[in-house]
Structure 1
Amino acid sequence: MTKPMKPALNRRVAWMHAMGIALCLGIAPTAQAFKDPMEIPAIIAPKAAKALMLNATAQGSKVVLVGERGIVLYRDFAAGAEAGSGAKDADGRVWTQAKVPVSINLTSIRFSSPNVAWAVGHDGVVLKSTDGAQSWVRVFDGNKANEQVVAAAKKKMDDMQARFDAAKPAEQAKLEAELEAVQFAFEDAEAGARFGPARPMLDVWFKDDNQGWVVGSYGQIFETKDSGASWTLIADRLNNPDFRHYNGLYGDSTGLLLIAGEAGRVYRSTNFGQSWERLDTGYNGHFYGTAVTRNDKGEATVYAYGFSGNVYRLGPGAAAWWKLQSPTKESFVQSFTQGTTVMLVDQKGRLARTDTAGTGLSLVSQAEGKPVTGMAVVGQSVVLSGQGGPRVLDLPR
């Protein structure tokens, strides 16, 4: 049996991996002692626009992508002809690489206003930009997250132990399993913290520049109310006792928040995260995101999408989710709404769209070839993130 690598060796392997990526991106690495990627700024790379990009978003005419080794690219699609210096994508479009304080894979990005943006990624990192994604600062990370996770697990264990000690013998027998579960959860949290900031954040959404949420692996969900200056673990508000991953986060101005998670679960809040309910869809696989359309009464239809092309729909007043017939077996990775329809992209870059009734789903474009991780819409174009950097398609009509 192969023995697991020690954390120090893991970090050494990570450094070797970073040097390999540096060579691929056209950078000549210099000999130096290993440093934590969370402390190494992303290297400005001549071939950054051909790197693996993991997510994309648009703000006005600007598109921003995040990806491996802390690479953040942005481009103003209203700028007209190609001009100036920067990294060129496979089609010759020029992208500017942002200044980023970490060289960690970044998984998602959102704007909360035209100039304020947020990005999350591996090692629990949360970044903030106040200049339209040109430069970034780290406002949270997995070390700080681990502190809160351990403290919350210890409090839960201590409270359960006190309850157990105060109970009569007959009641103690009933509480024993619960006590063992919280003790195990505390030990697991401590073990995770000793390993380091290894748990990624996977999505982010802000209602304004001050209040927002990040979600990630193993049931992580944190909230800030002071523009990222401090963060609070709110995992106890959600019914997720087995610490399933939270893969995608949706929010809108009505107070609706949705989390797409493992085991076919969707978590819903209608009051900006103060309370939550778990919606079991009847599906047992992974959901990667949700989308919402509203009718002329403002009532929401929720779509949950993910692994192997699965899409489920919950209409206004419906008691159960309904599965749409999917035209692809590839996983859907991101979506955007167009009026009462939803456009989704699968991991091969094919676009699918619901009909106006929300009950049908059909392909509207062909496969792009290289793996796709997300998309952003700007004007009449769709910008795909994925292997080989950004790619631009015409928006299907």
Structure 2
Amino acid sequence: MCSYKNNILRLALGVVLGLSQGISQAADYVDVLDLPAKPSALAVRSPLLDVTNAGQRLVAVGQRGHILYSDDCGRQWQQASVPVSSDLSAVYFASPQQGWAVGNDGVILHSSDAGVTWNKQLDGRQIGALLVRHYAALASAEPANEQWPLLLADGQRLVEEGADKPLLDVWFADDKVGYVVGVFNLILRTEDGGQSWTPFQDRTDNPQNFHLNAIASTGDALYIAGEQGLLLKWDDSAQRFNAVPTPYQGSFFGVLGKPGEVVVYGLRGNALRSTDGGSSWTPFDTGLQVSVTAAAIDAQGHYRLFTQAGHMLADQRDNTQLHLMPQQNPSPVAGATLAVDGSLVVVGTRGARALLKE
């Protein structure tokens, strides 16, 4: 009998302790949008999703709010001060000092000191209300326009869903004008360096609300790449992103190029090049069925494409065949850029690494 009572007491005590621990954990919970990223000596080896240039400096972003910067072409890295712990997906610098990073929970971060410190400009708790205010005003001004109630309803849905609104890429024309893009046709534009943002969902030819995966300029044109063959190009006269037909209907993960030329890449080793503004396309022969997840232009002006399995492919400009380049210890690549010494720096599941110049 005593043993039975002891077991009951232990069970009751366990329940009380479990409840008190749960209450304590609930009381200690801090939203990742309010929790600064923790300094970690292992951050450089943790998953990173994008890397870019800030003048001669490199800046990389990744999981748990990690932002790193390097002043020796990617050999050594330091961790930046970041006010959030949300996973970050993309980073872009409009000048050596002014940069922006975006990621999960609709977070938009800004740095004015070349990536050493960052502040939060916007997050997913505010984006839904931003859309509601914007499209409610347009619906009131133009009651006969049927698209405003639909976009207003999208904003109300975002309010109800909370902060979970992943932003996938960011691009700025200068220190003032820029865009962020994300899931389900989420796109915002700023004209004051991120102090305020304007919804741009009504300025895209994307009626099915496909994800907007990447935004980039080729020097003379601005493109957005997305799901199911979606490619959009900015039309300055119409002030909107118009659809550009492509021969591939799978998802594109990235876009890059140079004046007069654009390359898009994505699922199952697919990559396409156009030299006439998207009127016609020539497929690259990658020889792979693995998704192309990152790309850069090397010091010789050749395209380098990287895959989720760690392959590196090079365009030799002689034909549409991409050449598989040998490398030591390949690992999945999520972002790539050219350092000032001519070497390529890539980031991915194993953090950051500099590839030797050839």
Q: Identify the TM-score tier after normalising by the shorter chain.
A: 0.7 to 0.9
My pick for the range that moved more, 68-77 or 335-344, is 335-344
My pick for the range that moved more, 102-111 or 361-370, is 361-370
From the superposition, tell whether residues 364 and 259 of structure 1 become closer, same or farther in structure 2 (CA, over 3 Å): same
Counterpart code for 1:141: D
Structure 1 unaligned runs (5+)? 1-15, 17-29, 80-92, 165-178, 295-299
TM-score (structure 1 length as normaliser) = 0.76
Conserved in 2, the CA contact under 8 Å of 1:257 and 1:272?
no
Aligned mates of 1:151, 1:329 — CA distance in 2: 45
Counting matched residue pairs gives 333
- Number of the residue aligned with 1:290: 255
Aligned mates of 1:362, 1:375 — CA distance in 2: 18
Conserved in 2, the CA contact under 8 Å of 1:207 and 1:253?
no
Aligned mates of 2:278, 2:250 — CA distance in 1: 21
**Is residue 2:29 matched to residue 1:34?**
yes
Counterpart code for 1:62: R
TM-score (structure 2 length as normaliser) = 0.84
Structure 1 residue 144: Cα displacement: 2.4
- Number of the residue aligned with 1:207: 173
Cα deviation, 1:83-130, whole Å, max 9, x if unaligned, reads: xxxxxxxxxx54211000000000001111111111111111111111
Question: Percent same amino acid at aligned positions?
Answer: 32
**Is residue 2:264 matched to residue 1:304?**
yes
Aligned mates of 1:75, 1:69 — CA distance in 2: 19
Conserved in 2, the CA contact under 8 Å of 1:42 and 1:99?
yes
- Number of the residue aligned with 2:6: none
Structure 1 residue 315: Cα displacement: 2.1
Q: Could you tell me which of 232, 238, 246 is aligned with 2:212? A: 246
SS in 1 for 2:240: coil
Structure 1 residue 272: Cα displacement: 9.5
Conserved in 1, the CA contact under 8 Å of 2:218 and 2:262?
no
Conserved in 1, the CA contact under 8 Å of 2:292 and 2:307?
yes
Aligned mates of 2:78, 2:244 — CA distance in 1: 41
Q: Could you tell me which of 78, 83, 88 is aligned with 1:96? A: 78
Q: Say which one has the larger Rg.
A: 2
From the superposition, tell whether residues 253 and 47 of structure 1 become closer, same or farther in structure 2 (CA, over 3 Å): same
Aligned mates of 1:57, 1:40 — CA distance in 2: 25
Structure 1 residue 57: Cα displacement: 1.1
**Is residue 2:347 matched to residue 1:385?**
yes
- Number of the residue aligned with 2:3: none
Conserved in 2, the CA contact under 8 Å of 1:352 and 1:364?
yes
Conserved in 2, the CA contact under 8 Å of 1:106 and 1:120?
yes
Conserved in 2, the CA contact under 8 Å of 1:349 and 1:367?
no
Q: Could you tell me which of 290, 294, 300 is aligned with 1:334? A: 294
Structure 1 residue 154: Cα displacement: 4.9
Task: Map 1:136-155; keep pairs closer than 5 Å.
Answer: 136-152=118-134, 154=136
Structure 2 unaligned runs (5+)? 1-21
From the superposition, tell whether residues 368 and 236 of structure 1 become closer, same or farther in structure 2 (CA, over 3 Å): farther
Task: Map 1:244-283; keep pairs closer than 5 Å.
Answer: 244-254=210-220, 256-271=221-236, 274-283=239-248
**Is residue 2:333 matched to residue 1:372?**
yes
Conserved in 1, the CA contact under 8 Å of 2:305 and 2:313?
yes
